[in-house]
Structure 1
Amino acid sequence: MLTDANTFRRLAAGACLVLAPLCLLLGMVTDPTDPGPYDPLAYARNPAAVGVSATLLHYAWVLFVPGVIGLVHLVRRKGVVLANLAGALTVLGLINFSSLMISDFFDIVLFQRLPAEQAHKIMEEAAQPAMIAAWQLPGMIGSFLGLVLVAVAYARSGRAGWWFPVGVLGGIAVWIYGASSWNELLGFGGPVVLLLVFGFVGVSIIRMPDAEWSGAPAVGAPGLTGPGAGAGSR
């Protein structure tokens, strides 16, 4: 497998589309924050759980990168321009967004070593304009909007039904609302939807023939070049 470029890249892209939303779901499940009012000391009391959750969320966004590249690779007719632009936006967004998970580790130490009010003030002041404009906003917009647009391009190319972008949009919207409102049902439900839709597409890529992945014409197909290729036209 490692010596075959098409097989390895196809399997890697498909597997990442399954593993990325799975990591997102597990990252939400292991988050020690309880539903209800925001508790600034929750992370300080549960450093091990926070470390596991932050790491899973980090790798959720990292693993989406090979998956997105694989989706863009398979768009070859309709939707190529959209796929290329959305793919670039998404990859840059995912890289930025994954890096933001490191702030959870600073939360742990600050709220363990300092009074809650002082620790919270430091975290607020750390949100410098450059960090928000160049890291946070591109990360969030690029990741969320980009994933939807890549799914639209993939569906427009005929690779999947329109349930794919609808499911991606719905899963992201439900997850964001659930996470921001501390609603566990929605916070877990959104990643489950993403796991179902991305997982289905990912498995279909894993099961795809290498020839379809590479886009190479089948042996004997019209348009082949090589010795004797044009003999029948003479």
Structure 2
Amino acid sequence: MTDNYRRVVAAGALVAWPVLLFAAFLTSPPGEEHDPAVFASMPGQVQVSGLLFLYATLAMIPAYFGLAALLYPKARGLANTGLTLGLFGAAAACTLFTTDFYDLALAQTVPAETAKQVTAAANELPGFLFGMLFPGFLTHVGTLVLLIGLAVKKAAPWWVPVAVVAGIAVPFAVAGSSPAVQSIGSLLELAALGWVARDLLRTPTRALA
């Protein structure tokens, strides 16, 4: 496996990540909560969206290595910190999307009120909150450590981390809006991460060492 191969994979993942995220938001069921009635009425869409969210998160893993490779020659500590936080967050976040399938199964097999009670109880379990949900947000922290580090070291323009922050914030700010509106944030991330991917492909392999 060559260094050039790794670079191409990392650059591809930097683009695939927001593209898959865009598709995941676009296909997600409407509403802020996992409404059993909505889930039961569109089982195929629930599964497609859940898988797209999962694959977007998996794409973060090689993408983090690409971001860290660009930052490492200029700031080793920041590169290692961002990579560690991002990888741990991605590993935790991958577990979260199984809840879509469990909530769908509940919606299809038990009364709606029972499904809501089970989901609410699961969401309050300490193991879920502190072992899966909160650690999953480290993906955002790791991403910003790496991108802000690149901007500080003048390896990327400042609009790159700003666009990613805006992209992360959009789905939370418009949580009650349609999936199409929520998906706009991932387009901002695509612009930023696409720029980094292009830079990664143009950087000589020896400069990443």
Structure 1 length-normalised TM = 0.82
Q: Which residue of 2 aligns with 1:95?
A: 91
Q: Is the 8 A contact 2:70 2:200 kept in 1?
A: no
Q: CA deviation at 1:15?
A: 0.4
Q: Tell me, yes or no, if the aligned pair for 1:18 and 1:203 is still in contact at 8 Å.
A: no
- The answer for the alignment partner of 1:202 in structure 2 is 197
Conservation of the 8 A alpha-carbon contact between 1:24 and 1:191? yes
Work out the percentage of aligned pairs sharing the same amino acid: 29
Kept after mapping to 1: 8 A contact 2:29/2:179: no
1:65 to 61, 69, 88: 61
Q: Is the 8 A contact 2:15 2:190 kept in 1?
A: yes
Residue number in structure 2 paired with 1:137: 134
Deviation digits for residues 117-175 of structure 1 (CA, Å, limit 9, x no counterpart): 001101111221111011110112x0122211111112223221111111111110112
Structure with greater proportional helix content: 2
Match of 1:115 among 111, 115, 120: 111
Aligned residues: 208
Post-superposition offset of 1:19: 0.1
- Partner residue, 1:15: 12
- Corresponding position of 2:23: 26
**Offset at residue 39 of structure 1 (A):** 3.9
Contact 1:44–1:112, Cα closer than 8 Å, also in 2: yes
Give the CA deviation at 1:36: 8.2
Unmatched segments (≥5 aa) in structure 1 = 216-234
Q: Partners of 2:43 and 2:130 in 1: how far apart? A: 29
Distance (whole Å) between structure 1 residues aligned to residue 153 and residue 33 of structure 2: 45
CA contact (8 A) 2:164 2:188 kept: yes
Match among 129, 134, 146 for residue 150 of structure 1: 146
Deviation of the 1:58 alpha carbon: 0.5
Are the equivalent residues in 2 in contact too, given 1:76–1:157 (CA < 8 A)? no
Q: 1:190 to 1:91 in 2, by over 3 A?
A: same
Which residue number corresponds to residue 40 of structure 1?
Answer: 36
The structure having more radius of gyration, on CA atoms, is: 1
Shift of 1:77: 4.4
User: Is the 1:86–1:146 contact (alpha carbons within 8 Å) kept by the matching residues of 2?
Assistant: yes
C-alpha distance in structure 1 between counterparts of 2:100 and 2:18, whole Å: 20
Q: Residues 38 and 20 (structure 1 numbering): CA distance in 2 closer, same or farther, change over 3 Å?
A: closer
Partner Cα distance (2:102, 2:78) in 1: 38
* Structure 2 portions without partners, runs of 5+: none
Residues 1:169 and 2:165 are matched in the alignment: yes
Instruction: Answer yes or no: is the 8 Å Cα contact 2:58–2:94 preserved in 1.
Output: yes
Q: Relative contact order (alpha carbons < 8 A, sep ≥ 6): 1 or 2 greater? A: 2
Distance 1:148 1:186 in 2: 23
Q: Give deviations 1:178-233, integer Å, cap 9, x for gaps.
A: 2x2334454121111001111121122123333333x3xxxxxxxxxxxxxxxxxx
Deviates more, 1:196-205 or 1:110-119: 196-205
Q: How many angstroms does 1:70 deviate by?
A: 1.4
